[in-house]
Structure formats: C-alpha cells, structure tokens
C-alpha cells in the first residue's frame, strides 16, 4: 500500500498510508491472534495492487500474471479470495469502460496459470486424503458461508447492522473516507489520482454490499477489504491536510502534494493520534492478549499429549478443529474421516460429540481427558 500511494500521491502520503493502515480495531484484535484471515488480507492486497500496476502501465502481462497468482495463493489460503478480487476488478473496469480486458488474452492467460497452480494443489491433496474428503470440505465451507442457519433463517436485521459494524471497526479513518464522495474532491485530482480513487472505492463498497447480503456474518470477514477502506480514509485525510496547508499559504487548494515542512494543527493531531494508537497497541499486546490466552493452556495440553503418545507415533484426529493444541503438540497429526480407519494401537483425539457416540467409538480405550482452548473437553484415546 505504501508503494501504491507513493507512485500516485507522493512519499509523504505513502508514509501516512503505511502508518495508518493498521490503525483500526479490527487489525488490533486480529493481527496478534494468528488468524488465517490476515494471510488472506496479504494475498488479496497484493493481487489488487498488482492489478492497479497492470492498468497503469503498458506491459500488463507480468502484472496480471502476478495478480492472478496472488489470487491463487489466496484461494488456497481461504477460498473467498477470488470473490474479493473480482468484486473489485469488475466494477472498476465497468466504471472505466474497460470490461473488454476481462476477455483479453493477457487476462485469460493469467487466469489459466492461476488455475493450473490451484489444480496442482488439488491433485496433491487428493493423493493424500482422497477426492471425497476434499469435495466434502469445500462443500461444507461454502454451505456454512452462503446457507442461512435453519434455526435462525436469513438475518434480515444484519443487512443494516453489518455495514455499520464494518464502518465502526475502521473508525476514525472510515469517517474521512466519506469525504472522498464529494465532487469537489474528485475535481482536484489528475488521471492517476482518479484511478487510485476508483480502485479504492471499488475495493470497498461492492465487497461491503456483497458480504452484507451473504447470510453468515462476522466483522473479520471484512479484513480483505480493510486496506481499501483505510486507503479511502487516508485519501480524505490527505485532502484535508493538503488543502489546509495551501489555504494557509493563500494558494489554490490542491490534493496532489504537501511540500511544506511546517506542521499545521491537523498534522499535529495526526501525530498525536498515532502516538495514542501506539500506546494502545503496546498495551493490547502486553496486557490484553496475555489475559485473553491465560486460561487456554494450549502449551500445557500439548505437553500432556506428548507425555501420553509415544515419540514417533502419529496422533490421529477426526472432527477436532483446535489447531492451537496440535500446534503446541509439535508432532505429526493426521486427519481421519472414518473411525474404522484408525490403526490398531494408534492414539486419537476426540471431541465430546465423538466420545459420546459409543456405537462408533465405544471400542476405544480412554487414556485421559483434557480441555481445548475454548474450555471444551477433548479425549485422548487408544485403539486396543
């Protein structure tokens, strides 16, 4: 994002973008949590920035291929990456009257390379776990995201609440983003600046609309569009800073540069905000995060598992989703889809639902009962 803004707006605006990008409650909460969503943010952001380079220059092929390879990486991380990418790209190209780019050979070549990368990964997965396991996993993930829960039905109230929650999670920068809707704001940018504004708007609002309509909501699902919304906020803030300085000097307002070294009141406010945010960040990481994870005992549970499972023997898991425990276990863990495939003498971790299913798991010997990071019981068993 720093490089994107540096090419279009200048070094100082790029520095402001880099400093303010992580200044949202959403980033504050998710970054220290090793959320896979943050990896998805990286892939989607890289893909969109590379696509912007493709629109800027004449040599489009390398940047388009790089963008679609990033989409492939995001797809293999969390399959929603293509949705975030094309919900940005299609409205942007439609806005600029360049939709023909989508059926051009350069874009189709890039898509083909990305599909080959995903196909190679799928072949490797099928060889390890089988086609049924792969297709079932993809189907469950899609059904969870797009099918409303039968007990609750479609969450109509969230059609209003979800966008407000996304907006609130990015305050105060999201408030500055609203300034970019003004016609006077657009009139003061050159062609490159308007392209950047179009990109950021298409990155933000189509994705907010689409993921609001999707039945199952969580604010963290908005993370891949976070950079676009924060970018709009920086553009709006930069406009205030630039115009304030120009007006102070009695010049015509312009958003394209802020060359004066003097510090206006608004610049001082930005510095004060960043200082407060740095203090909040340090306090959150040093105080809140340790308290949040104090009772999860993932390290202790992993050590207890190592004490019961012989070294060199794999540990099997079926429906267990607590990857924190298996991470601190620090030994091989294999997934099974059918308890009948558990080898004789092997160890397995069961959740409560599996342990209480005596018809399927009653023949297994209980070694010990522990708790996962959410406090739910997990059972270490051994096949006789």
CA separation, residue 230 to residues 7, 20, 177, 225, 286 (Å):
18, 8, 8, 9, 25
| Pairwise pLDDT comparison (245 vs 22), residue with the higher score | 22
**pLDDT per residue as tens digits for the range 38-95:** 899 999 999 999 999 999 877 788 999 999 999 999 999 988 899 999 999 999 999 9
**pLDDT per residue as tens digits for the range 237-247:** 888 777 655 55
For residues 21 and 139, give the distance between their C-alpha atoms in angstroms, rounded to a whole number. 34
Q: Is the pLDDT of residue 161 over 80?
A: yes
Give the mean model confidence (pLDDT) for residues 199-224. 90
Which pair of tokens denotes residue 381? 């068993």
**pLDDT per residue as tens digits for the range 264-280:** 677 788 889 999 999 99
**Distant-in-sequence, close-in-space partners of 303: CB < 8 Å, separation ≥ 6:** 328
Q: Is the pLDDT of residue 255 over 60?
A: no
| Pairwise pLDDT comparison (17 vs 250), residue with the higher score | 17
* Domain edges within the chain: 2-291, 298-382
Query: How sure is the predictor about 148, in pLDDT bands with cuts at 50, 70 and 90?
Result: low
Region of 382 (left: φ > 0; alpha: ψ -120 to 50; beta: rest) is: beta
Query: The tokens 């510090």 sit on which residue?
Result: 263
172 preceded by a cis bond (ω within 30 of 0): yes
Query: How sure is the predictor about 258, in pLDDT bands with cuts at 50, 70 and 90?
Result: very low
pLDDT for the residue numbered 225: 94
Query: How sure is the predictor about 250, in pLDDT bands with cuts at 50, 70 and 90?
Result: low
Query: What is the overall mean pLDDT for the chain?
Result: 86
Asked if 350 and 369 touch (Cβ cutoff 8 Å), the reply is no
**pTM (two decimals):** 0.79
């Amino acid at each position: 994002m720093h490089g994107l803004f540096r090419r279009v707006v200048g070094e100082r605006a790029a520095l402001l973008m880099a400093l303010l990008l992580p200044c949202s409650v959403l980033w504050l909460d998710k970054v220290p949590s090793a959320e896979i969503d943050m990896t998805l943010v990286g892939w989607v952001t890289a893909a969109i920035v590379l696509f912007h380079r493709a629109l800027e220059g004449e040599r489009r092929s390398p940047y388009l291929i790089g963008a679609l390879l990033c989409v492939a990486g995001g797809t293999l991380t969390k399959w929603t990456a293509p949705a975030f990418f094309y919900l940005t790209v299609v409205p942007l190209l439609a806005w600029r009257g360049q939709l023909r780019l989508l059926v051009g050979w350069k874009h189709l070549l890039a898509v083909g390379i990305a599909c080959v990368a995903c196909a190679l990964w799928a072949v490797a997965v099928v060889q390890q776990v089988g086609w049924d396991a792969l297709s079932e996993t993809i189907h469950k993930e899609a059904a969870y995201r797009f099918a409303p829960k039968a007990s609750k039905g479609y969450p109509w109230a969230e059609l209003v609440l979800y966008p407000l929650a996304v907006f609130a999670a990015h305050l105060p920068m999201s408030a500055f983003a609203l300034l970019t809707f003004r016609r006077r704001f657009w009139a003061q940018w050159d062609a490159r600046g308007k392209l950047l504004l179009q990109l950021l708007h298409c990155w933000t609002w189509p994705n907010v609309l689409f993921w609001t309509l999707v039945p199952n909501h969580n604010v963290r699902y908005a993370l891949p569009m976070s950079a676009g919304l924060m970018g709009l906020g920086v553009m709006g803030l930069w406009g205030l800073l630039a115009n304030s300085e120009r007006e102070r000097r009695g010049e015509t307002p312009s958003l394209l540069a802020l060359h004066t070294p003097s510090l206006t009141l608004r610049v001082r406010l930005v510095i004060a905000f960043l200082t407060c945010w740095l203090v909040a960040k340090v306090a959150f990481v040093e105080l809140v995060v340790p308290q949040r994870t104090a009772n999860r005992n993932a390290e202790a549970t992993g050590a207890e598992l190592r004490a019961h499972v012989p070294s060199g023997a794999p540990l099997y898991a079926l429906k267990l989703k607590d990857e924190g425990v298996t991470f601190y276990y620090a030994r091989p863990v294999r997934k099974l889809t059918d308890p009948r495939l558990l080898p004789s003498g092997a160890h397995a971790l069961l959740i409560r639902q599996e342990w209480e299913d005596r018809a399927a798991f009653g023949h297994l010997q209980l070694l010990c009962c522990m708790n996962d990071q959410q406090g739910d019981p997990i059972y270490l068993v051994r096949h006789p």
